């Protein structure tokens, strides 16, 4: 059979398995059907629910504006898939082309999409994590539990980690009139994702909204009463805080453990794949039948020095899933490269934050519009004489313009004038990112080097 005939036969009768039935998994399945795949399609997901949307969990759901089970992802089309929900994949046999499930079943495939995303990093001491009153936020069940507890009006909520998720939770708590302490190891909120200059603005926002923000502080212990209920938290400066709710917001961990020993290049930073979303094996050779998409993927991007990027962005999960699905049923020249410019949004303390590009790569920044003091601005980040990222606070409509500057490697510092350019923004200043090896809430874009099979990265928890 010719390559074209093989490809046509696969489109008609092939077996595709998708592990991870959430945003990336669902969008990939829809694309497969949209593009004419009529073979068998199996969706494996360890959560019992049908695919749902996570961004509202830390926003509308925690504000009590919608129930946690009311965020199902809209369906673009009928799927005609076999759904295996509530059962985890526990292993992958590359040679035998089978996925092993927790219930012992083995599911054969011709092509596989890995879309297992991330999970919340748990509190490091298990016994303390089990206390009644200690929460994480990743799933709709997490959001339902936390929302119930917030509705019962706790005396004080402690949020451990001031990344995007921690800051959004703090914002929701303040909007509900709850007392909130945020403990952040770094010098400011959002510092790992946006750097110290913008972190200082985020700190002002939090304090202006009544958050008891404590930076340069770690939580050393959580303590409960004899009934196992959280009562207080010990901080590294010796303070003991009375709290009855603690939300651990220390970033995400990639769900790659089920791939251990499979031969796929999977590790703490995710599953490495090429720009066509095909997974690498541990020797750095690209596989032809295993694809990756979404939060669990790390893929090289020419705009960012071909470094592997791990992204925790909603838009990345959608776009990469669409490209991966297209490539799964296309051959050779019809395959597409995945060249999406990272983009992310957040809503907190009444401000709409949007980012494009890779801010963590930018060692300098310029305020190109508006002013930090007014909390309404756009900053451009530069790296090696070119624009690498931009972040807007309440000025999102300009970001497309900056995305084009990033795509065309426009020179940095930016010289153009505009009506909203102030004297403070005319020169580039250091963007003040902390040492990335220090554990914190984590950025939502991680540059994870050049090697597809690099599995050396380990997380060192804060010393307790």
Ligand X SMILES: Cc1cc2nc3c(=O)[nH]c(=O)nc-3n(C[C@H](O)[C@H](O)[C@H](O)COP(=O)(O)OP(=O)(O)OC[C@H]3O[C@@H](n4cnc5c(N)ncnc54)[C@H](O)[C@@H]3O)c2cc1C
d(CA 43, CA 57): 23
Quick note: the x/- pattern for ligand X over 129-168, rule CB under 6 A, is: --------xx--------------------------x---
Contact flag: residue 342 with ligand X (CB under 6 A): no
Least distance CB 25 / ligand X (angstroms)? 6
Q: Which is nearer to ligand X, 258 or 402 (CB)?
A: 258
Least distance CB 258 / ligand X (angstroms)? 4
How do 278-280 and 180-184 pair as beta strands?
Answer: unpaired
Question: Could you say which of 317, 325, 365, 445 contacts ligand X (CB under 6 A)?
Answer: 317
Contact flag: residue 299 with ligand X (CB under 6 A): no
Q: Which is nearer to ligand X, 29 or 406 (CB)?
A: 29
204 sits in which H/E element: helix 196-208
Contact flag: residue 398 with ligand X (CB under 6 A): no
Contact flag: residue 117 with ligand X (CB under 6 A): yes
Helix (H, G, I), strand (E, B) or coil at 55: helix
Q: Which is nearer to ligand X, 193 or 366 (CB)?
A: 193
d(CA 399, CA 380): 10
Cβ count within 10 A of residue 116? 32
Taking a C-beta distance cutoff of 8 angstroms, is the pair 91, 262 a contact?
yes
Question: Could you say which of 11, 125, 345, 363 contacts ligand X (CB under 6 A)?
Answer: 345
Least distance CB 23 / ligand X (angstroms)? 4
Query: Quick one: DSSP state of residue 167?
Result: H
Question: Could you say which of 31, 42, 71, 116 contacts ligand X (CB under 6 A)?
Answer: 116
Contact flag: residue 23 with ligand X (CB under 6 A): yes
d(CA 149, CA 137): 13
How do 118-120 and 252-254 pair as beta strands?
Answer: antiparallel
CA R_g for the chain = 23
Q: Which is nearer to ligand X, 128 or 295 (CB)?
A: 295
| The two structure tokens encoding residue 55 | 């961004």
Q: Which is nearer to ligand X, 118 or 364 (CB)?
A: 118
- Where in 162-191 is the site for ligand X (CB under 6 A)? 165
Q: Which of 363, 293, 298 is nearest to 321 (CA)?
A: 293
Contact flag: residue 55 with ligand X (CB under 6 A): yes
Contact flag: residue 89 with ligand X (CB under 6 A): yes
Taking a C-beta distance cutoff of 8 angstroms, is the pair 433, 447 a contact?
no
Contact flag: residue 93 with ligand X (CB under 6 A): no
**Which segments of 257-326 are extended strands (E)?**
266-267, 270-272, 278-280, 286-292, 297-300, 308-311
d(CA 356, CA 399): 7
Q: Which is nearer to ligand X, 181 or 319 (CB)?
A: 319
Contact flag: residue 47 with ligand X (CB under 6 A): yes
Helix ranges (H only) for 395-462 are: 399-407
Helix ranges (H only) for 356-446 are: 399-407
Q: Which is nearer to ligand X, 184 or 312 (CB)?
A: 312
In order of 34, 203, 415, the CA distances from 343 in angstroms are 25, 22, 24
Contact flag: residue 443 with ligand X (CB under 6 A): no
Contact flag: residue 314 with ligand X (CB under 6 A): yes
Taking a C-beta distance cutoff of 8 angstroms, is the pair 286, 429 a contact?
no
Contact flag: residue 19 with ligand X (CB under 6 A): yes
Question: Could you say which of 167, 218, 255, 310 contacts ligand X (CB under 6 A)?
Answer: 255
Contact flag: residue 52 with ligand X (CB under 6 A): no
d(CA 209, CA 283): 51
Least distance CB 260 / ligand X (angstroms)? 11
Contact flag: residue 313 with ligand X (CB under 6 A): yes
Contact flag: residue 81 with ligand X (CB under 6 A): no
Torsion angle defined by CA atoms of residues 357, 363, 368 and 373, in that order, rounded to the nearest 10 degrees: 110
Query: Site residues (CB under 6 A) for ligand X?
Result: 19-25, 44-47, 54-55, 57-58, 88-89, 115-118, 137-138, 165, 255, 258, 294-295, 312-315, 317, 344-346
């Amino acid at each position: 059979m010719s390559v074209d005939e093989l490809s046509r036969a696969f489109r008609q009768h092939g077996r595709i398995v998708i592990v991870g039935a959430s945003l990336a998994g669902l969008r990939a399945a829809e694309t497969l059907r949209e593009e004419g795949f009529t073979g068998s399609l199996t969706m494996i997901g360890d959560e019992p629910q049908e695919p749902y949307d996570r961004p509202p969990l830390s926003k509308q759901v925690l504000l009590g504006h919608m129930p946690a089970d009311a965020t199902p992802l809209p369906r673009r089309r009928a799927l005609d898939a076999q759904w295996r929900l509530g059962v985890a994949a526990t292993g992958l046999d590359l040679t035998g082309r089978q996925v092993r499930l927790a219930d012992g079943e083995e599911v054969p495939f011709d092509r596989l999409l890995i879309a297992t995303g991330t999970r919340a990093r748990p509190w490091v001491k298990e016994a303390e994590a089990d206390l009644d009153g200690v929460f994480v936020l990743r799933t709709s069940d997490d959001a339902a539990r936390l929302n119930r507890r917030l509705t019962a009006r706790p005396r004080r909520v402690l949020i451990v980690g001031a990344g995007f998720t921690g800051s959004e939770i703090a914002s929701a708590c303040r909007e509900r009139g709850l007392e909130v302490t945020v403990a952040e190891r770094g010098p400011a909120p959002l510092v790992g994702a946006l750097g110290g200059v913008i972190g200082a603005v985020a700190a002002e926002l939090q304090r202006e909204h009544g958050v008891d923000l404590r930076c340069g502080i770690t939580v050393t212990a959580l303590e409960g009463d004899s009934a196992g209920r959280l009562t207080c938290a010990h901080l590294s400066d010796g303070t003991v805080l009375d709290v009855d709710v603690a939300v651990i917001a220390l970033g995400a961990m990639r769900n790659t453990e089920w791939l251990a020993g499979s031969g796929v290049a999977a590790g703490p930073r995710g599953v490495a794949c090429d720009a066509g979303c095909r997974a690498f094996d541990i020797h750095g050779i690209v596989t032809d039948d295993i694809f990756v998409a979404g939060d669990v993927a790390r893929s090289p991007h020419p705009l960012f020095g071909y470094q592997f990027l791990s992204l925790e962005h909603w838009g990345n999960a959608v776009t990469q899933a669409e490209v991966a699905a297209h490539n799964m049923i296309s051959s050779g020249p019809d395959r597409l490269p995945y060249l999406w410019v990272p983009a992310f949004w957040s809503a907190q303390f009444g401000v709409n934050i949007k980012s494009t590009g890779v801010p963590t790569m930018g060692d300098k920044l310029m305020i190109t519009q508006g002013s930090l003091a007014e909390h309404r601005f756009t900053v451009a980040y530069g790296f090696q004489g070119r624009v690498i990222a931009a972040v807007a606070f309440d000025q999102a409509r300009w970001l497309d313009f900056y995305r084009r500057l990033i795509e065309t490697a426009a020179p940095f510092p930016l010289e153009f004038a505009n009506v909203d350019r102030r004297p403070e923004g005319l020169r580039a200043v250091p963007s003040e990112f902390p040492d990335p090896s220090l554990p914190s809430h984590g950025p939502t874009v991680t540059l994870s080097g050049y090697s597809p099979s690099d599995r050396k990265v380990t997380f060192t928890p804060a010393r307790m």
